[in-house]
């Protein structure tokens, strides 16, 4: 869990609290080769949805909703079938691809999905 949090902070997905009194500054932790950085430079709305839904945690779970995009079982299965991957994958790139496919199929764009989320509180 601590390692995932460090990677999330390094990728800019999570921002550490402002009150860091007593903590000495250390060199940044390099991301492992399999870690995929936040897509914020490409798609700010997609990055916003990931932060909102899971904080970038590939094992985030809320009932049947799982992963960075918190897709339900049916959405994960449908997207995984298109991509040829496991619907319960914990590989960031595969979860990102499933989330992007779901958003494209349902909303057309990450911006439209974010707008829907802002109106309804979910997407």
**For residues 116 and 122, what is the distance between their CA atoms, to the nearest angstrom?**
7
Angle among Cα 20, 21, 22 to the nearest 5 degrees reads 110
Nearest-CA neighbor of 58 among 106, 22, 8, 101?
A: 8
At residue 120, the pLDDT reads 97
What pLDDT, on the 0 to 100 scale, is given for residue 49? 98
Per-residue pLDDT of the chain (123 residues; tens, 9 = 90+): 444 544 444 555 544 444 434 434 444 433 444 445 554 456 999 999 999 999 999 999 999 999 999 999 999 999 999 999 999 999 999 999 999 999 999 999 999 999 999 999 999
């Amino acid at each position: 869990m601590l390692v995932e949090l460090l990677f999330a902070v390094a990728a800019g997905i999570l921002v550490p609290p402002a009150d860091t009194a007593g903590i000495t500054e250390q060199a940044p932790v390099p991301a492992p080769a399999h870690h995929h950085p936040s897509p914020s430079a490409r798609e700010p709305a997609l990055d916003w949805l990931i932060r909102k839904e899971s904080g970038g945690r590939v094992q985030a779970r809320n009932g049947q909703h799982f992963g960075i995009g918190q897709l339900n079982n049916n959405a994960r299965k449908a997207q995984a079938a298109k991509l040829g991957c496991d619907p319960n994958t914990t590989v960031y790139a595969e979860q990102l691809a499933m989330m992007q496919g779901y958003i494209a199929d349902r909303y057309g764009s990450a911006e439209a999905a974010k707008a829907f989320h802002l109106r309804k509180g979910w997407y």
